[in-house]
Structure 1
């Protein structure tokens, strides 16, 4: 079966390369020897990352299938029995394989030859659906039916959705008898609306109760659309995290199955340490309550990690829109001020890394968050169980309570400082309508005296505060590892956070090419000329 899989993958690669050549021959060169071979072939564009806003549903469905192939690549690299150098070459070849195999599907969405693109897309989608169905039916590793269903369900849904969208495009082509399109749109509809809303006050109509709930989750704006750049990378990241989550949920059952096989092998043997190995292996079965605690802690940690990763992607979408709209208005926020000295070379180079960084950071954030949360839960719950078994839980709780007396006392003294500051150390309000008292010390003798005494009290508070600061920093960093839109480093060191740097560089490039005012202005000046120039040509 493995040889058949290799042959099928090789055939997929050859067919994909031939289709890429076909789409390249459909395009015409503009600058490099346009007189040679009638200007063909040219470089086809799989995805319009720079200024693409159309067909986002199709790209979203295609990127979901691409995420499955990328996940297969990661698992294949881990199963290769070779030295790390060979694994590195296998990984690099796998990256080329993933990009090449799904390039024709993306080209069939992007090409202006919509009839050919629809036919190729339909065939490719049917092939992708067949591959996913074959993998689900084969089930080489003996997974449960529920696991197979949840694992391949997004792929089947996206394949069906993409198939219907290609059918719709093909029907439109046949009905209108227009088999090609002209890329003459200099400006998108939402960019025109953005300029229109600058000249009038725009108010959102909340509508029904469902509309209000939808508004709380995500505030729709007619003058904004997410580009394909964001939608494509976010969908791949979400797909891979979902698949890894299912693997993590299945991991304890897989581990227990290996232990049972090992126990069967040990029971059939007669070596010296047979009894010891059987006793040690039995610790990892459901008969052991401590293992059950670790197992269910793992399930809870996996769910928490999935929620955190989903929240990161959700916040990325919100922060991207907030940042890009502020930049459209010319607001020089701190986000941009830190990178004003960056050269255009650095901006373009780092913006190319954004999509890959988003996927990698989101995946690493999920992995690290899941493992750390599992360790914390296992130490707390498992430790309480062990202490309860040896009748030391009450003593441990009493000891912890005794150690918490000092932080409680210092916290009470801190509240006393705030109360004295509010009612004794600050001068009264100048006007009764003022929100706060003026920042001017009253009763200076008492302030100076208590300030000297509280040096030593605040020394103890400082020790406790420093510990809390470490805990807070660790917790925030742990749950924000997968975020690219926020730097993890301190202010002044953001340029060393390469993930954040790639995000800001992408914003730079997006604003430089897709500013609505720029696009609308160019459409009024050059739109008719561009349309006239492209009439009757092949290349957009």
Structure 2
């Protein structure tokens, strides 16, 4: 965080560490890669490729390991949050860029940032992978050992040199305790996972995820929609103005982890800034004492005495303004972090209800590729916006603090209170007069230049002019005054735009640009893209509907999927998907012969006339059977041409099997739904 030349001016008693955390970060890549390979070996791929035929002994192993589901994870949210919080200090180092070489070209810094981010992500990958793996026993053991190693090395580094490289004692403890806290929590979490896995192996306890879905809150949301609405409940002032807990809504792990990491990073940045400011104030006071000694040793001490007093007052003012502006910026940034969650829930509920009026018109149908890229970069951008927003807000508040102090407080302390009051009264009077004239114009227009109400029950008069000649004279004489008034209104607009833009710079849930220019606000575009991805993948009605379909159809083919195996608990015998598809295809075409002509041909020379002939034959056969008294006899093998292509997930054949001898399909049987 600090420049290199400033670090050389630090205390002489700064110790030299034998444990270099940067070197340990590089060395940790080897065990991290080993853990990833072990977990990848345990995972099996659902879709087999040509390489599986060559290495058939692997049996589909070495699948892709998922560190964190950024879309649909609602379990272990606190664990993932603490795992993200463990890397807070590394994120701050990446944010500050202290690891960059001195003589590095500007164009190459982007690649160095990318490499540094990948290295940090790979080093901390086992924390997330061991938490999210389905093999809890192996994951808990590997995660516990890896976390314990990081905890021991970090603790030894702090114990060896508690003052670190900062500007005071115990700086390393102050900076590192959030990471130690998160690592300690992860140790307890992995130990808990190990005990539960052992119990599950001994059949003493059943894993809750094997029988109960983790999206129960979404089903409760749908039930609440289907119930008859009740009257308004009595809510407290806190629930009305600030936040009301909703049991049918859960924030995904991505949002919880982002907010926790933002708070940890904000804490580290504030501590860095506080230590830096304390150091600078100490340097200023030291220079002040040296200046006093020089002036006292000179013959013109009385001449330079006012300069010393003014310097002391300036240092006190700077120190006071910096402290109060820092507190205000910190409170504002913390409020924004929690307000992000409130806005996320509010916007998601509006999208679930089909309401898009709060979004710009051009973003009602955003690009899918941009939305996917937006949710991938949202967490990083949100943290960067929070940190940069804190710095910018702190600087602006300091500027306003200096204006207020030197404009009001400083003159009052020097017996110029009357002058200050006089200036304030004149400014306030001018403002009141201008506002009064604007209000007067509105009153005159309402009373003399609008036609009366059409109905006595109307709240407002209609927008219809009355006394047009008087109105034209009124507009003419006020034209020249409104030109002067417009200058003040323009300055007021500029002032409000600057204040609101700086105040809301950290919030990407709303744009600070005018309507029509939202496309230039990249943070707001990221927020909207993230909302749409969550809306399309975590909509409670959609998820519940898919849950009901999977349960009703008994799709056993999805039992191997880690995301949807919880929805299929039926113990029905397995049936070949190829056989089921063939029978369903034949039955559907028998009941709907017209669909034969609409089927997609493959690589066969299958003319439309041939299809029409086959469709006519099938139609006449069904009609004859329906007119006859008997049931539909079992047809022979019917060549109906190629079926749907493989891209539709249906097996392609040039013919379908015949019906069995018994039972036969009857005309009364319902057609298979398309």
Same fold (TM over 0.5): yes
Residue 99 of structure 1 is aligned with which of 89, 108, 121?
A: 121
Matches within 5 A, 1:70-469: 70-75=91-96, 77=98, 81-85=102-106, 88=110, 90-137=112-159, 138=161, 139-144=163-168, 151-177=175-201, 188-201=215-228, 213=238, 216-258=241-283, 288-335=312-359, 337-340=361-364, 342-382=366-406, 384=408, 395=419, 398=422, 402=426, 405-469=429-493
Stretch moving more, 307-316 or 131-140: 131-140
Gaps of 5+ in 1: 268-274
Identify if the C-alpha distance between structure 1 residues 142 and 334 changes in structure 2 by more than 3 Å, giving closer, same or farther. closer
SS in 1 for 2:359: helix
Identify if the C-alpha distance between structure 1 residues 336 and 389 changes in structure 2 by more than 3 Å, giving closer, same or farther. closer
Contact 2:74 2:214 in 1 (8 A): no
- In the TM superposition, what is the alpha-carbon distance from 1:105 to its structure 2 partner? 0.5
Deviations 1:336-377 (A, max 9, x none): 632245432232223322222111112111111111111221
Deviations 1:289-309 (A, max 9, x none): 211211221122222222222
Identify if the C-alpha distance between structure 1 residues 447 and 331 changes in structure 2 by more than 3 Å, giving closer, same or farther. same
Identify if the C-alpha distance between structure 1 residues 389 and 70 changes in structure 2 by more than 3 Å, giving closer, same or farther. same
SS in 2 for 1:420: helix
Identify if the C-alpha distance between structure 1 residues 190 and 446 changes in structure 2 by more than 3 Å, giving closer, same or farther. same
SS in 2 for 1:4: coil
- In the TM superposition, what is the alpha-carbon distance from 1:150 to its structure 2 partner? 5.3
Deviations 1:121-176 (A, max 9, x none): 33344344445534544222255468666544544443343333333333322233
Contact 1:195 1:517 in 2 (8 A): yes
Deviations 1:472-510 (A, max 9, x none): 000110011111111122111212211111111112222
Instruction: Say whether residues 1:39 and 2:60 are aligned partners.
Output: yes
Identify if the C-alpha distance between structure 1 residues 506 and 128 changes in structure 2 by more than 3 Å, giving closer, same or farther. same
Identify if the C-alpha distance between structure 1 residues 176 and 38 changes in structure 2 by more than 3 Å, giving closer, same or farther. closer
Query: Of the two structures, which has the highest relative contact order with CA contacts closer than 8 Å and spacing of 6 or more?
Result: 1
Residue 46 of structure 2 is aligned with which of 10, 30, 49?
A: 30
- In the TM superposition, what is the alpha-carbon distance from 1:42 to its structure 2 partner? 1.9
Identify if the C-alpha distance between structure 1 residues 292 and 506 changes in structure 2 by more than 3 Å, giving closer, same or farther. same
- In the TM superposition, what is the alpha-carbon distance from 1:471 to its structure 2 partner? 0.5
Q: Distance in 2 between matches of 1:180 and 1:94?
A: 38
Gaps of 5+ in 2: 1-15, 293-299, 566-674
Q: Distance in 1 between matches of 2:447 and 2:391?
A: 50
SS in 1 for 2:134: coil
Number of residue-to-residue matches in the alignment: 530
1:7 aligned partner: 23
Contact 1:192 1:516 in 2 (8 A): yes
Identify if the C-alpha distance between structure 1 residues 265 and 472 changes in structure 2 by more than 3 Å, giving closer, same or farther. closer
Identify if the C-alpha distance between structure 1 residues 460 and 4 changes in structure 2 by more than 3 Å, giving closer, same or farther. same
Identify if the C-alpha distance between structure 1 residues 180 and 87 changes in structure 2 by more than 3 Å, giving closer, same or farther. farther
SS in 1 for 2:68: coil
Stretch moving more, 363-372 or 187-196: 187-196
* TM-score (normalised: structure 2): 0.69
- In the TM superposition, what is the alpha-carbon distance from 1:327 to its structure 2 partner? 1.5
1:271 aligned partner: none
SS in 2 for 1:50: coil
* TM-score (normalised: structure 1): 0.84
Contact 1:191 1:223 in 2 (8 A): yes
- In the TM superposition, what is the alpha-carbon distance from 1:394 to its structure 2 partner? 5.4
Superposition RMSD in Å:
3.9
Q: Distance in 2 between matches of 1:124 and 1:65?
A: 13
Stretch moving more, 357-366 or 158-167: 158-167
Identify if the C-alpha distance between structure 1 residues 290 and 146 changes in structure 2 by more than 3 Å, giving closer, same or farther. farther
Identify if the C-alpha distance between structure 1 residues 346 and 61 changes in structure 2 by more than 3 Å, giving closer, same or farther. same
SS in 2 for 1:69: helix
Instruction: Say whether residues 1:61 and 2:82 are aligned partners.
Output: yes
Deviations 1:406-434 (A, max 9, x none): 44322221122233344444445455544
Stretch moving more, 345-354 or 103-112: 345-354
Contact 2:147 2:187 in 1 (8 A): yes
Identify if the C-alpha distance between structure 1 residues 158 and 432 changes in structure 2 by more than 3 Å, giving closer, same or farther. farther
- In the TM superposition, what is the alpha-carbon distance from 1:435 to its structure 2 partner? 2.9
Q: Distance in 1 between matches of 2:365 and 2:442?
A: 44
- In the TM superposition, what is the alpha-carbon distance from 1:253 to its structure 2 partner? 0.9
SS in 2 for 1:30: coil
Contact 2:259 2:338 in 1 (8 A): no
1:52 aligned partner: 73
Contact 2:288 2:311 in 1 (8 A): no
More helix by share: 1
Q: Distance in 1 between matches of 2:289 and 2:436?
A: 61
Q: Distance in 1 between matches of 2:95 and 2:81?
A: 21
Stretch moving more, 289-298 or 87-96: 87-96
Deviations 1:276-331 (A, max 9, x none): xxx9xx98x99822112112211222222222222322232122212212222222
- In the TM superposition, what is the alpha-carbon distance from 1:14 to its structure 2 partner? 2.1
Q: Distance in 1 between matches of 2:28 and 2:240?
A: 44
Residue 536 of structure 2 is aligned with which of 498, 502, 512?
A: 512
- In the TM superposition, what is the alpha-carbon distance from 1:259 to its structure 2 partner? 5.4
Q: Distance in 1 between matches of 2:503 and 2:195?
A: 47
